[in-house]
Every structure is written in structure tokens, then in C-alpha cells.
């Protein structure tokens, strides 16, 4: 079956899998190298077996060849068991047992770091044997089970051992016996040597598929969280340490050239497996048993070289993007809160709104992005009253981000500028961020607000207060209301006879979308929010209406139904006009209705213009 037929069968739209299949076909021509024979069982491998698997950090898996074929893991287990030791015993204890320096010698070297009295690193046999002794368990059997369970968590399924290979390893492992006994003699392990060696032989004999290895590598790429089971297997800090040792010691004597050609932390094994990790993106695994003179899979090396070259995956091809951390910046005179303001308030905000700056951040916040964000913000900070930092689209904020932002909050406060964080509360990407600023919040230097609309409203209110405008100060007089502009005194007097008075409690729904529209309201006291959609669901506020402002005017259109919900934010006193009554009055005085309609057209037109401005600012 050719690739096109396979594609047609699966029906998947996957350029990656298509690429891997072509790569497998092309590299199949490479028949260099020889199958390892130092353990009799390994020599039985079919030299033509060949599989490639790529697993992404979010669990997509791309396969080429027989990626389910099992083989023994051998040395590919070593970085994971180093991770086990770090996870269970901590770095300090582990570094007493093993170093992190590469050695110019072969993987089964008996030469040890006598200065520090430990094997050179955990990627050579001696180091791995030292790690085996750190397995938890009261009996060797418990320890073996612990080892199997731990590697299974990386693979995302229960692994098993190949008994034949295990016996072969155990019966012919003279070199490893020499290493273990030499370590015992120097006091690097406590022994009994046979128990430790048995654990090590068992570890090497665990069966994995190429697919399993890709998932194991992807677990390292995903900071220690298995992308299939979502289980955290080891901590991000321990992943960092594991990858560091893989980078310098993972490919035997080929470290420098590997870093040069491929540049990814990797580990190979004598059965013909290789894994490589691209942190944050993927794990790749190859199985092909023919080895080169250094002991790495011939085809495995070729696949890694070509895959990383074709897709620019080398670790030192920079993928960091610090430029787009600021998604956009705008001022309070460009975008306003949805609070409907009086003309005087609007005038003040047009004049003074530039003292409020909104910065929308996006992507991950780490040193390079936060440094840039703060630098851009600082340029704008002079003369501002408030900076609102919208973190809705932030993927995470690391240690550096917190450290720099806390410093920045302090420095802004000294300049009389307050920072408001928006969309942090309840944001799973930013868990713990608010707590990190508890001192600054207590000192009034920064604040956490649920959403941008309320943060803007609060800063607008603060700005208006500085100009002597307090919310609710507006007096109600029909002649001043926008809705009644252009209606003469006599007609207004007639209208006033139709006024009804209403009181609503905070939280009460005043209008409901879909209801028949019979009344037009004017707020006398309090605040009313207009929401689209189902009022039972948390929905976007499209307007907030205060004293002297009207809502529900669309009732003037024939057969109108409410198009939105109106909810009292506070206790509300409102005046209402029955539409029927207005129509009755307009029979004799058509200019009343005409003027009101024209006023609504003006108001809608203004709101449409503001909405268009907002769309422009948002794009």
C-alpha cells in the first residue's frame, strides 16, 4: 500500500504524517551499521525493522512504519530513571551519587570520577546502576515494581518486561558486574551488587514501542506532564535537569557533532531506539536496530538530522517571539467603559481619558516578553493616573514575570500611577498570580478587577471625581433629557402627565429580551445594566445607564419586543412612559413622536459610530 492509499484510507488531513511516511521510505535505503550482539538476544532483532513516531505536547501522535512493534528499551530508560531519582530524592542527594559531566569514554566504561567518588553521569551504565539503588521499596521485588510503574507513567500505559532479554542480560552482563563491583569497592553503591544489577538488567529489558517512546519524550517536552493521560510524572524543574544531562551526555561520544547537527536533548540505546525532545513542542522516537560505530542507530541519526533540518527544529533556531507580547495599547479617550455618561462626563473623558492606558498582553510572560512589556508601558506611564493590564490572553506568567511586574508596580506607585490587573481572578493560566501581589494590593499600589469594562469604569469614575463630577449628581429634568430634545414646553407639560414612577431592587430584572415592549424608562436614581442574551447566564454588558438616561426607547416602534435584558445594578428609581399613552398624545401633536424618533436616531447613530470606533480599535 502506498502513501496516497493510506492517506485516502485514514482520511486525515495531516501534512506531518505524510512527511514522516515519505521520510521513512527514503531513509529505508540506509543499510549501514550492524545490529548489537553483545547480548545474544539483541542479535535476533530484524535489521530491517524501522518506525518513526512524533508526539506533540498536547497529545497528537504521528506515525510511520510499525510503531507498535515492541523492543527492549535499553539505555533510553536512563534519563527517565535519573528523573525518578531527582523526583524522589532531590538534586542534592542525587548529585552525591552521580555527576553531570560528559565522559570521553564509551557507555560501558569502567572509569569512574574518583575525585568526586561517583560515576561521571547518569547516561552511562555506571551512573544508571547508581540510580537503580535509589529506587524505593522494601524488597528488590518492590523496587522492580516501582521502576516498572514509573516508566509506565511516562508511556501512559502498563509496560511489561521481555523475560528472554532479561535472562540474556543477566547471564552475559559480565562487564556491568565488573562496573558494579568496582563501584561497591569504592563505596559508590552500598550493595549487594547482584540486587542493584538485577534492577538495572530488568530496567534495560522493559518492552516499549516506538509510539511509547515518542509519548515518553513528549512528556519531557510537556514539562513532565504526560500528554495522553495528563498526569504530572515529574516536575518542570526536574525535566530541565534531565534535558540538560541528555544534551551533554545522551549520545555517547557523538555529543558535540549531535549538538551541531541536531541540537536536541536526546538518548539512544543499543537495541536501536533513539528519542529526542524539543521542549514545548514534541518528542520524536525512532526504532531501527542497526548501530553505527559509536553505538547509535544509523537510521535513527539520519531521521533526526533530516527531520530537524527540514522543519528548523534545532534548539538554537530561535523561536522566541517577544515582539507580540503587547497585543494592543489604547487610552481611555479612545475606548470607554460601557457606562452611558452624561454630556459633561463625556466631555471630561474626551479631554482627560488619555490618563488611563489599557495594555493587552498576550502569549507567555517570561523575562524577554515582560521586559519588553514593561519598557513599552514605562514609555507611556509618564503623567498617567492608571494602567490597566489585561491578561486575558496570557498563556502563563513565570517566576521572572512576577518578579519584574512586582518591581514595576512599586516604581509606578512612586510616580502616582496605579496598575489594575484584569482577567486574572479565576483564570486557570494565572493561578497564584493575585496572591503574589498581596503586599502591593494591601498598600493600594495595584488592584485586581474582574473585567476590562469594570476596570475602565472605575478609573473613569476616579478621573471624573477629580473634576468634581460624582456619579448620580445629575438632576432629572425632562427638558434636559436627550430623548425630549426639540419638544416644546407645552408638549413636555402634556407628556409629564403620563409619567409613572417605578422602584426596583438591586439585581432585579427590569426588562427581559423577547417580552412585549410597552414602556420607555428614564433612570432617576441608581444604575441599570443592559445585557444581551440569556439573563441567567453571565453575559456581556453592552451598556450601563444612570440618572437622567433612558432605556427601552425601542418600544416606540410598532409591535416592538425587548431586544436585551435590563437589570438593576443598585436600588433604582425610574420614571416610565407607556408607549400607548405617547401615541395617544401624538395623534394631535405628531411633532412629539417625530422629535422622539429623531432623537433616538441621533442616539443610535452616535452609539453605532462609537461601536465602529471600538471595532477599529479592537482590530
Query: Considering the rule CB under 8 A, would residue 395 count as an interface residue with its own copies?
Result: yes
Residues in region 36-75 near its own copies by CB under 8 A? 56-58, 60
**Is there a catalytic annotation at residue 166?**
no
Round to whole Å and give the CA distance between 342 and 220.
Answer: 58
Assign 302 to helix, strand or coil. Answer: helix
Full DSSP string of 153-172: HHHTS--EE-HHHHHHHHHH
**d(C-alpha 563, C-alpha 296), whole Å:** 69
Q: Give the number of other CB atoms < 10 A from CB of residue 225.
A: 19
Size of the site for its own copies (CB under 8 A): 113
The catalytic position among 165, 208, 270, 325 is: 270
- Of the candidates 33, 127, 265, 576, which one interacts with its own copies according to CB under 8 A? 265
- Minimum CB–partner distance for residue 100 and its own copies (Å): 4
Q: Which residue of the set 200, 254, 287, 575 is catalytic?
A: 200
Q: Count CA atoms within 13 Å of residue 591 on its CB side.
A: 9
Active site residue 38: no
Interface with its own copies in residues 346-375 (CB under 8 A)? 362-364, 366-368, 371-372, 374-375
Of 367 and 448, nearer to its own copies (C-beta) is: 367
With binding defined as CB under 8 A, does residue 416 bind its own copies? no
What grid cell was written down for 115? 575525585
Distant-in-sequence, close-in-space partners of 111: CB < 8 Å, separation ≥ 6: 103, 105, 120
Residue number with CB closer to its own copies (19 or 71): 19
User: Greatest CA span in the chain, whole angstroms?
Assistant: 114
- The answer to the question of residue 611 lying near its own copies (CB under 8 A) is yes
Of 10, 34, 46, 407, the residue at the interface with its own copies (CB under 8 A) is: 407
Among the listed residues 148, 138, 127, 152, the one whose alpha carbon sits nearest the alpha carbon of residue 195: 138
**Cα–Cα nearest to 491, from 587, 598, 601, 602:** 587
Interaction mask 574-593, its own copies, x per CB under 8 A: ----------------x--x
| Cβ(529)–Cβ(572) below 8 Å | no
603 is catalytic: no
Smallest separation, CB 417 to its own copies (Å):
10
Place of cell 530537524: 308
3-state secondary structure at position 373: helix
Instruction: Considering the complex, state which of residue 318 and residue 490 has its C-beta at the smaller distance from its own copies.
Output: 318
> Cβ atoms within 10 A of the Cβ of 333, count?
14
Q: How far is the CB of 288 from its own copies (least distance, A)?
A: 22
By CB under 8 A, is residue 243 in contact with its own copies? yes
Residue choice 244, 293, 477, 508 for contact with its own copies (CB under 8 A): 244
Q: Is 545 a catalytic residue?
A: no
493 lies in the site for its own copies, by CB under 8 A: no
Report how far residue 372's alpha carbon sits from residue 325's, in angstroms, rounded to the nearest whole number. 8
Angle of helix 590-618 relative to helix 579-588, nearest 10 degrees? 130
Number of other residues whose CB lies within 10 A of the CB of residue 407: 11
Q: Which of 381, 483, 528, 574 binds its own copies (CB under 8 A)?
A: 381
Nearest CB to its own copies, comparing residues 522 and 586: 586
Nearer to its own copies, 408 or 575 (CB): 408
Q: Does 601 bind its own copies (CB under 8 A)?
A: yes
Which residue in 90, 137, 192, 236 binds its own copies (CB under 8 A)? 236
Q: Under the criterion CB under 8 A, does residue 310 sit at the interface with its own copies? A: yes
Closest CA to 14 of 78, 70, 64: 64
Distance between CA 276 and CA 247 in Å, rounded?
Answer: 10
Question: Please, which of residues 2-41 interact with its own copies by CB under 8 A?
Answer: 7, 12-16, 18-19
* Subset of 506-565 contacting its own copies (CB under 8 A): 532, 540, 542, 554, 556-558, 563
Q: Give the contacts of 251 (CB within 8 A, at least 6 positions apart).
A: 258, 266, 267, 268, 294, 296
Residue 329 sits in the site that holds its own copies (CB under 8 A)? no
| Nearest approach, Cβ of residue 573 and its own copies (Å) | 27
Cis omega (within 30 of 0) for bond into 554 = no
- Whichever of 88 and 398 has its CB closer to its own copies, that residue is 398
Q: Which of 57, 78, 205, 297 is catalytic?
A: 78
Catalytic residue among 19, 84, 252, 575: 252
Are the C-beta atoms of 226 and 219 separated by less than 8 Å?
yes
75 is catalytic: yes
Q: Which of residues 92-131 bind its own copies (CB under 8 A)?
A: 99-104, 121
Are 565 and 573 in contact, with CB atoms under 8 Å apart? no
In the bound state with its own copies, the residue whose beta carbon lies nearer, of 190 and 584, is 584
Residue 6 CB, nearest distance to its own copies (Å)? 13
The span from the CA of 596 to the CA of 278, in Å, is 66
C-alpha 32/C-alpha 37 separation (Å) is: 16
Nearest-approach distance from CB 29 to its own copies, in angstroms: 22
What is d(CA 24, CA 170) in angstroms, rounded to the nearest whole number? 34
Q: Is 316 in the site for its own copies (CB under 8 A)?
A: yes
Q: Which C-beta is closer to its own copies: that of 97 or that of 202? A: 97
Closest CA to 422 of 377, 468, 455: 455
Binding its own copies (rule: CB under 8 A), the pick from 136, 186, 230, 399 is 399
Write down the least CB distance from residue 71 to its own copies, Å: 27
The grid cell for 203 is: 530496567
Fill in the per-residue mask, 278 to 297: x = in contact with its own copies (CB under 8 A), - = not in contact. xxxxx---------------
Q: Is 400 in the site for its own copies (CB under 8 A)?
A: yes
- 82 in contact with its own copies (CB under 8 A): no
By CB under 8 A, is residue 434 in contact with its own copies?
A: no
Q: Are 338 and 308 in contact (CB under 8 A)?
A: no
Which positions are catalytic?
75, 78, 200, 252, 270
Amino acid at each position: 500500500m502506498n502513501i496516497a492509499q493510506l492517506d485516502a484510507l485514514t482520511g486525515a488531513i495531516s501534512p506531518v504524517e505524510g512527511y514522516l511516511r515519505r521520510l521513512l521510505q527514503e531513509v529505508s535505503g540506509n543499510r549501514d551499521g550492524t545490529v548489537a550482539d553483545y547480548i545474544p538476544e539483541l542479535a535476533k532483532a530484524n535489521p530491517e525493522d524501522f518506525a518513526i513516531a512524533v508526539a506533540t505536547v498536547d497529545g497528537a501522535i504521528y506515525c510511520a512504519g510499525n510503531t507498535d512493534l515492541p523492543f527492549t528499551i535499553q539505555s533510553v530508560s536512563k534519563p527517565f530513571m535519573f528523573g525518578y531519582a531527582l523526583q524522589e530524592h532531590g538534586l542534592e542527594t542525587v548529585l552525591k551519587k552521580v555527576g553531570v559531566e560528559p565522559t570521553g569514554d564509551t557507555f560501558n566504561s569502567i572509569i569512574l570520577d574518583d575525585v568526586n567518588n561517583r560515576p561521571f553521569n547518569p547516561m552511562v551504565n555506571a551512573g544508571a546502576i547508581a540510580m537503580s539503588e535509589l529506587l524505593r521499596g522494601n524488597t528488590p521485588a518492590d523496587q522492580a515494581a516501582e521502576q516498572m510503574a514509573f516508566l509506565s507513567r511516562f508511556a501512559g500505559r502498563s509496560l511489561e518486561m521481555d523475560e528472554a532479554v532479561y535472562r540474556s542480560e543477566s547471564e552475559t552482563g559480565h562487564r556491568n558486574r565488573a562496573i558494579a563491583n568496582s563501584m561497591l569497592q569504592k563505596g559508590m553503591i552500598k550493595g549487594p551488587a547482584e540486587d542493584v544489577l538485577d534492577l538495572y538488567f530488568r530496567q534495560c529489558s522493559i518492552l516499549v514501542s516506538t509510539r511509547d517512546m515518542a509519548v515518553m519524550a513528549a512528556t519531557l517536552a510537556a514539562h513532565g506532564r504526560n500528554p495522553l493521560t495528563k498526569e504530572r510524572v515529574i516536575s518542570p524543574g526536574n525535566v530541565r535537569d534531565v534535558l540538560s544531562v541528555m544534551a551533554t551526555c545522551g549520545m555517547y561520544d557523538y555529543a558535540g557533532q549531535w549538538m551541531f547537527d541536531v541540537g536536541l536533548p536526546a538518548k539512544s540505546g543499543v537495541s536501536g531506539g533513539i528519542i529526542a525532545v524539543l521542549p514545548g513542542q514534541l518528542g520524536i522516537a525512532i526504532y531501527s536496530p542497526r548501530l553505527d560505530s559509536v553505538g547509535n542507530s544509523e537510521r535513527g541519526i539520519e531521521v533526526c538530522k533530516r527531520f530537524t533540518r527540514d522543519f528548523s527544529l534545532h534548539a538554537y533556531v530561535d523561536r522566541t517571539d517577544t515582539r507580540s507580547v503587547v497585543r494592543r495599547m489604547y487610552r481611555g479617550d479612545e475606548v470607554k467603559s460601557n457606562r452611558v455618561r452624561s454630556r459633561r462626563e463625556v466631555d471630561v473623558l474626551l479631554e482627560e481619558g488619555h490618563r488611563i492606558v489599557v495594555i493587552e498582553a498576550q502569549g507567555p510572560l517570561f523575562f524577554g516578553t515582560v521586559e519588553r512589556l514593561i519598557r513599552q508601558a514605562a514609555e507611556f506611564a509618564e503623567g498617567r493616573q492608571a494602567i490597566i493590564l489585561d491578561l486575558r490572553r496570557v498563556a502563563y506568567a513565570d517566576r521572572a514575570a512576577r518578579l519584574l511586574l512586582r518591581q514595576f508596580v512599586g516604581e509606578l506607585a512612586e510616580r502616582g500611577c496605579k496598575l489594575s490587573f484584569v482577567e486574572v481572578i479565576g483564570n486557570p493560566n494565572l493561578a497564584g498570580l493575585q496572591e503574589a501581589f498581596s503586599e502591593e494590593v494591601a498598600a493600594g499600589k495595584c488592584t485586581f478587577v474582574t473585567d476590562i469594562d469594570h476596570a475602565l469604569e472605575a478609573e473613569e469614575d476616579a478621573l471624573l471625581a477629580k473634576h468634581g463630577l460624582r456619579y448620580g449628581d445629575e438632576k432629572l429634568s425632562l427638558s434636559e433629557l436627550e430623548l425630549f430634545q426639540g419638544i416644546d414646553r407645552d408638549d413636555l407639560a402634556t407628556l409629564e402627565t403620563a409619567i409613572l414612577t417605578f422602584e426596583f431592587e438591586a439585581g432585579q430584572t427590569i426588562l427581559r429580551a423577547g417580552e412585549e415592549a410597552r414602556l420607555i424608562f428614564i433612570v432617576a436614581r441608581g444604575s441599570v445594566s443592559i445585557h444581551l442574551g440569556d439573563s441567567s447566564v453571565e453575559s456581556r454588558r453592552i451598556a450601563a445607564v444612570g440618572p437622567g438616561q433612558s432605556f427601552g426607547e425601542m418600544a416606540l416602534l410598532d409591535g416592538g419586543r425587548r431586544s436585551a435584558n435590563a437589570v438593576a445594578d443598585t436600588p433604582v428609581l425610574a420614571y416610565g412612559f407607556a408607549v400607548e399613552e405617547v401615541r395617544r398624545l401624538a395623534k394631535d401633536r405628531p411633532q412629539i413622536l417625530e422629535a422622539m424618533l429623531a432623537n433616538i436616531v441621533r442616539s443610535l447613530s452616535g452609539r453605532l459610530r462609537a461601536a465602529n470606533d471600538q471595532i477599529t480599535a479592537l482590530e
